[in-house]
Structure 1
Amino acid sequence: MERIGLAVIGAGYWGPNLVRNAQATPALRLEYLCDLDLQRAQRVLGGYSTVRATTSLDEVLADPRVRAVAIATPAATHLKVALAALEAGKHVLVEKPLAANLAEGRQLVEAAESRGLVLMLDHTYCYTPAVFHLRELVRGGGLGTVQYLDSVRINLGLVQPDVDVLWDLAPHDLSVFGAILPDEVRPVAVAAHGSDPIGAGHACVAHLTIRLTGGAMAHVHVNWLSPTKIRTMVIGGSAKTVVWDDLNPTQRLSIYDRGVERRDPGTLAVDERAQTLISYRVGDMVAPALTEQEALRAVMAEFAGAITEERAALTDGRSGLRVLALLEAASASLRQGGVFVDIEGDEDAKLA
Structure 2
Amino acid sequence: MPDEDPPGPGDYWLQRPGSGPDATGLAGRGPAPGPGLSSLNVTPHVQAIGDRPAGILPDELVGWLPLSDQGAAGPYGYAILDAALIPNLPEMLEASGLPHRCLFRIDEAPELAATAPWLVALQGEGRLLRGLFTRGKAPQHLWDRHAAIFLTSHAVLSDLWQMLRRFTRVRDERGRWYYWRFWDARALYSFLAAPDFSPMAQQFLTGLQKLSPQTVLLLPQGDVVGVIRLDRPEGAAPAAGAPQLTDQDRQRLREELRRRDAAKLAGFLATQPVLGKSEPAYLDDLALRALIRRDEMDVRSPNGTAWLVILLYVADRHPRAAKALSALVETRKWSFDQVARMLKHGADRASDKAKSQDKGGR
Fold conserved between structures, TM > 0.5: no
Greater helix percent: which structure? Answer: 2
Identify the TM-score tier after normalising by the shorter chain: under 0.3
Q: TM-score, normalised by structure 1?
A: 0.27
Greater strand percent: which structure? Answer: 1
Larger radius of gyration: 2
Q: TM-score, normalised by structure 2?
A: 0.26
